Amino acid sequence: MADNEKNFSAEEREAMKEAAADKRKSRSRAKKSPEEVRAEGIADLEAAVAKLPDDKDRELSLALHALVTEVAPELMPRTYYGMPAWGKDGKVLCFFQPASKFKVRYGTFGFEPISNLDDGTMWPTAYALLDLTAANRKVLTERIRLAVS
């Protein structure tokens, strides 16, 4: 094992491999129609969700996919470091980091810098998520709408 590999957990090393695979897929999508890209992205997202060891993470991932698709149908489903994600113009806009992926207490719904969330000199870009309650749906709906505006 190389010295730099000792600094990363098995989960982090796996995420880096998945990121490299995501990048290869992104390059191959440049020659496909939007419909083909969407279908491939949905298949990748569903495959990533199916691999999750935790039922709650799978449930949250699918509920978030339904929410993002409802609120911002223009976003393309995809994976990001092997996690469910949604993108715009070939870049990730938002993603869900399942708790079981890195063996942490809660999942995180986050936004990448291309999101239109700027508000002064500080704004939230990620939300800890244990359940997708009606109140949580409302907050995330507002944030997703703002992010894609």
pTM (global) more than 0.95: no
Strand partners, 95: 85, 110
Range from 27-36, 64-73, 117-126, 134-143 carrying the lowest mean pLDDT: 27-36
66 dihedral zone (left: phi>0; alpha: psi -120 to 50; beta) = alpha
Residue 46 CB neighbours (<10 A): 16
Tokens of 103: 């063996």
What average pLDDT does range 62-75 have in this prediction? 97
Phi, psi of 46 (to 5 degrees): -65, -35
Summarize the confidence of residues 132-146 as an average pLDDT: 97
Confidence check: pLDDT of 21 > 80:
no
